[in-house]
Amino acid sequence: MKGKLIRFGVSMEDALLEKFDRLINKRGYTSRSEAIRDFVRNELVEEGMRAGDAPAFGVLSFVYDHHVRELEAKLTGFQHNHYESIVSTSHVHIDHDNCLEVIILKDKAGRINDIASKILSYKGVKHGNLSLTPAEKEP
């Protein structure tokens, strides 16, 4: 995002500022300004993703026990029923019992959340995570 830079002041307690400085140093920021800009951008993205009709990309990763009866068939069937939202999938055999599945989705944020919630609710899915990012330009 290109535009005119505007300076403004931020006041905070010294203990909070020390924690902030340690955090941004740990993350490799070279200035407080750049860190604050990134934090604001991230918060705006998060707010946009809360709007269910915002176009988004999602990355759903989850681990499941492939020995659970009919789970693989349920997962595959569900994914085929939502083919219009699913861009790609990847499957990794972790060990004898467990698999990692990664699904890339593109749709409205609310629909992606619904799809992810349903997949993560299946018996045999041990844990998972959904990461959303806007499909439009950054705020």
Torsional sign, CA 30, 32, 33, 37: positive
State whether CATH 3.40.190.10 applies to domain 55-134.
Answer: no
Write out residues in the chain with pLDDT < 70, as ranges.
1-2, 50-51, 137-139
Domain range summary for the chain, segments of one domain joined by +: 14-50, 55-134
**Is-above-0.85 flag for pTM?**
no
Closest CA to 101 of 52, 65, 53: 65
In this structure, are residues 47 and 132 in contact, taking their beta carbons and an 8 Å threshold?
no
pLDDT for the residue 4: 86
- pLDDT confidence of residue 3: 79
